[in-house]
Amino acid sequence: MSQKKTTPKKPVEKKPPVQKTKPVEKKPEAETTKPVEKKPAAAAREENTVFIGKKPVMNYVVACLTFFNAGGKEVTVKARGRAISRAVDTIELLRRAFVKDVDVKNINLGTEEMTREEGRRSNVSTIEITVAKAK
């Protein structure tokens, strides 16, 4: 005959119900007028810049279309390294399928020297393509 040992059960603790509260509404603060500063021409150019990375090409095409639909006359696409081919694909797709009256205004090629994590230096190719809407 085997006897089973029974352990006394621990009482279950009941937690009080959590009361839901309404979010506190923030009152808008009085707006202060700030003097408007004119941006230099180089800064205005940076506003219409699309930096190409690892996302699908259509994402960058949509970004360019957004600039043109907002009234921009030109867009600059910048890429470096392996993303250069994606930048070229973006411009070609934009020109051939979406905005027929876009012309390539300028293409700049360059090289940047980068220091890797291991401490060694390497050169990375860069491209900057500027397209403008024909009038």
**Residue 56 included in any domain:** yes
CATH code of 85's domain: 3.30.110.20
Domain that holds residue 81: 41-133
- Domains contained in the chain, number: 1
Residue 122 covered by a domain: yes
> pLDDT 10s per residue in the chain (135 long)?
556 666 666 666 666 666 666 555 655 555 545 455 554 444 444 678 999 999 999 999 999 999 999 989 999 999 999 999 999 999 999 999 998 889 999 999 999 998 988 889 999 999 999 999 987
Beta bridge partners, 103, equal 132
CA separation for the pair 35, 103 (Å, rounded): 37
Beta carbons within 8 Å of 120's beta carbon, 6+ residues apart: none
pTM over 0.75: no
Spatial distance between the Cα atoms of 119 and 78, rounded to a whole number of angstroms: 26
Residue 2 lies in a domain: no
